[in-house]
A and B are shown apart, each in its own frame.
Chain A
């Protein structure tokens, strides 16, 4: 279930410039509205939160609800710092499973 998320970082950001980061993670995002063949409700299991940090400080986060599509895609902007800094991306689902990845935000 915990496949590696796909993250697209900018190649070379200029310090102070807002750059776009695109993320995609595989997840069923089961809404809890659907029923299985036997008529039993399939319990909800969605990624309920996403956090992106830059050098350990939160830059962008999201609270997701069942209205977000499966394999949630999120694109957002980050203002590039003065030097290359590590970013960490974390997804948490209803079952408590955490998916995370680290990528450097290259400045230069």
Chain B
């Protein structure tokens, strides 16, 4: 079967064409390897159209029976590239597919179309957050901070990890904890906690990803019998009568 890659615009930079073509080639090679891990399939240029950035190739596997398997796998990858969801793509293909997605998304004004046989797939334009996930090394912020949420999914298999579902965004945050906190983590399992440490967040959204170098884990839920309404009115009559609370706050904030 023939496979086509096109950058569908009038003006394409050679570097972008070259780089995206190379990444598409890596995707095809990974697909062929997925089907036949011991041999490289031949990937042959069928046609290059003059004045366009359109390349047609043919994958020539070692055994003819591999061809439908490659076609099926390519279709699955193309769906992933079209939707931006590569979760169903085999892990060995995910990395080159992510790199192709990232390269195509470097040029938002240049649509990229890939085709398997007669079926066209337009490579998705990703949101800022999705793009960060493709290149996580570059677009994260780290700062000492706190994550509050429910402590769940404890694992000590390879390293000491638990997950906290952050109370603001309801996202799972990976927490790497030291062995000496093991007992404390067990005590607080399935409870609301504050986890203090070095928090990594996506730069564009501030959504937390993980926390390491944990310094403390505290219970964050209400204790039975405690009553926050006891504080209602405790400041009655204690402020200067000639100034409002708003004036005091404004003076504190702005001098």
Q: A and B: partners?
A: no
Instruction: Give the interface of B toward A (CB within 8 A).
Output: none
